[in-house]
Structure 1
Amino acid sequence: MNMASIVIFIFTVIYITAGNANTGFVNVQCKTENVGQYGQLSLLECAVKTSQEETDLEIRAVSWKKEGVDEPLLVFHRGGTTKQPGYSFAEPSWNSKNMNVSLHITNTAVEDQGVYTCTVVTDRGVITTETSLKVTAKYSKPTIISEPEKITQSTGGTLVCNSVGGYPKGQIRWFGELNEDWTKSAEMEVKQTKIGLFNLSSKLTLLQGSTYSKYKCAVFNTSGGKEDEATFEVPEGRDASGRLVVIGSLIVLLVVIVILYRRRYRRGH
């Protein structure tokens, strides 16, 4: 008999013996939605609440299960606790007199997102309540590279913005030097990794002769909030070698003017 079968048997027996008790003054209150950060400790808040008339309440059993998972995550019965790795009571020294039955999830993963059921059996009866966990992960600071590596305002090219390791799926948006939105002119690619996180990449093509001096790439989460941004400055169309050519041409022209002037001066005399 596996752990799930044992739990079902235990709670069936307890329900038969305690189910006829009055649960009207005993309730399990859970936070409707809990938010956990990827890789961090998450808390599913649940507590047993009693009326003033109820005293000396005893918790006989507790079970935490996740929707879609057969095996219970945590079970308390007859003074002992059985749990899966990564799950525990939020109270380290929890006992049957402690009304805080909240669940801790260590090293939260994307797969931990979902609906959870907390069942509490007391000497007054059985109460079952649901709560949910939403997992989020912040995207990395965007980075911008150009293709080709050296572009100018006159040559044009492509800007590529990358931001990785976020959850849920976000969006990359582009802005010009006057903060105008260029997102519709870009192409975004989304890839989901094996661990469930998203990598975002967006390409913005700069047309020759119509390129601004500055572009900004920003990453937004699924709620529309901006997490971070990066700026790319496009050099002027005329590079250093071009300026040297122009300066050299002006010097040559000046020399020619001086020579012609001297010749005319000598002829005049």
Structure 2
Amino acid sequence: MTMGLAGFVLWLLTVFCIGGQHTLNAFITVDCKNENLGQYGQPSVVECEIRMAKGDNVRIVVWKKGGSTLLKFFNNQVDPTSPLGYSFAEPSWNSKSSNVSLLIAKTSVINHGDYSCMVMTDSGSDNKTASLHVTAKYKTPSIRTTSTNVGPSSPVTLTCRSEGGYPKGRLGWFVGTTGQGESAETVAEAMENGLFSLSSELTLSLGQDASKYTCMVFNASGGIDGEASVVLPDHTQVAGIEQALQAKESDVASRIVAPLVVIGSLIVGLLLFWVLRGRRCSKRQPDPPVETDLEQDSQQDLLSVTSECQKSNP
């Protein structure tokens, strides 16, 4: 392991000493695409190709971002200690291949930035840099309306939100169909995954002539990723809403009072019934016994009622 590392270091020193001369003689040239685009969550490629003398073999390839080595080819094999998620873009890459492009399996925000590619062949070496610009499309914005009351000139706040985009974008407000802009600050916050969440608040008064408000989300390049609209009532509609609310409040009050009146009437009726019944029981006395059958039946009924009264009035 130590011998291999020492050999690698010696080889690099040789490259730095003689690599410039070979590059000037055009024995090897690394050509990279200066600006590469990557979509968040998708595979990305930083493109680089080499021009080398016929019959030459690639001895070393080193891809770096900042001070971190992402991919290294040495001694006819890819270093197994290279981080996962990075490989040559050409599936069947070998020491004869001229395409040394770097493939990033799943692009994230940390992949945004500058990369360097160093290549050494039998004839010499060269080193070039390239950049990867990571982008993520913002989600369709949503608008939430907040108001403490409803009435002419009542304040209402429109809150627009959108998230999941990169790099940092902005939100814009537009009135009606004329495209007139409204000034409102955009607040951008970085999420845990590095993407941005945008929010903007616009405070208005109900009853204005312009009733449609549109919020657009713009990406870092100025393009529109999405939009949402909300329609606020004008002064005539606000008046109608107030009348409807008053009618609703009156209806609710009547719905509450009516059952209470019915219940109260029932309670009063029951009290009167028991009072009258008590009076009837106290005044009514059983008649003397008689011999006829009809009068005996009436007497039994009266005794029965008297017994019930006594039970209900102990």
TM-score normalised according to structure 2 size: 0.68
Structure 1 pair 20–177 and aligned structure 2 pair: CA distance change class (3 A) = closer
| Residue ranges of structure 1 left out of the alignment (5+ in a row) | 247-269
Structure 1 pair 145–244 and aligned structure 2 pair: CA distance change class (3 A) = closer
State the shift of 1:196 in Å.
Answer: 1.6
Deviations 1:194-224 (A, max 9, x none): 3221100000111243262211000001111
Q: Distance in 2 between matches of 1:56 and 1:177?
A: 68
1:15 counterpart SS class = helix
Deviations 1:99-148 (A, max 9, x none): 00000112111111111110000001011111111111111100001003
| Residue ranges of structure 2 left out of the alignment (5+ in a row) | 248-314
Structure 1 pair 152–101 and aligned structure 2 pair: CA distance change class (3 A) = farther
1:200 counterpart SS class = strand
Matches within 5 A, 1:187-226: 187-210=185-208, 212-226=210-224
Deviations 1:209-268 (A, max 9, x none): 32622110000011111111011111331345726989xxxxxxxxxxxxxxxxxxxxxx
Paired AA for residue 15 in structure 1 = V
Is the 1:155–1:237 contact (alpha carbons within 8 Å) kept by the matching residues of 2? Answer: no
Question: Cα RMSD (Å) of the superposition?
Answer: 2.8
Match of 1:109 in 2: 108
Is the 1:156–1:209 contact (alpha carbons within 8 Å) kept by the matching residues of 2? Answer: no
Matches within 5 A, 1:3-152: 9=9, 11-12=11-12, 15=15, 19=19, 22-23=22-23, 24-25=25-26, 26-50=28-52, 54-67=53-66, 69=67, 71-82=68-79, 83-148=82-147
Q: Distance in 1 between matches of 2:8 and 2:33?
A: 25
Deviations 1:41-70 (A, max 9, x none): 1100000124xxx31121111000112x3x
Does 1:230 find its partner at 2:228? Answer: yes
Match of 1:181 in 2: 180
Which structure is higher in RCO with an 8 Å CA cutoff and minimum separation 6?
Answer: 1
Is the 2:214–2:228 contact (alpha carbons within 8 Å) kept by the matching residues of 1? Answer: yes
1:237 counterpart SS class = helix
Structure 1 pair 10–46 and aligned structure 2 pair: CA distance change class (3 A) = farther
Is the 1:152–1:234 contact (alpha carbons within 8 Å) kept by the matching residues of 2? Answer: no
Deviations 1:162-200 (A, max 9, x none): 00011111110000113343331x232211123221100
Structure 1 pair 76–145 and aligned structure 2 pair: CA distance change class (3 A) = same
Range 91-100 or range 186-195, more displaced: 186-195
- Aligned-residue sequence identity (percent) comes to 41
Q: Distance in 2 between matches of 1:16 and 1:160?
A: 58
Structure 1 pair 203–17 and aligned structure 2 pair: CA distance change class (3 A) = closer
1:64 counterpart SS class = strand
Q: Distance in 1 between matches of 2:245 and 2:21?
A: 94
Deviations 1:69-114 (A, max 9, x none): 3x31101011110221110000111100010000011211111111
Is the 2:151–2:242 contact (alpha carbons within 8 Å) kept by the matching residues of 1? Answer: no
Paired AA for residue 41 in structure 1 = P
1:9 counterpart SS class = helix
Is the 2:171–2:186 contact (alpha carbons within 8 Å) kept by the matching residues of 1? Answer: yes
User: Aligned residues, how many?
Assistant: 238
Is the 1:153–1:212 contact (alpha carbons within 8 Å) kept by the matching residues of 2? Answer: no
Match of 1:265 in 2: none
Give 1 or 2: higher helix fraction.
2
TM-score normalised according to structure 1 size: 0.79
Paired AA for residue 92 in structure 2 = S
Structure 1 pair 20–29 and aligned structure 2 pair: CA distance change class (3 A) = closer
Range 161-170 or range 235-244, more displaced: 235-244
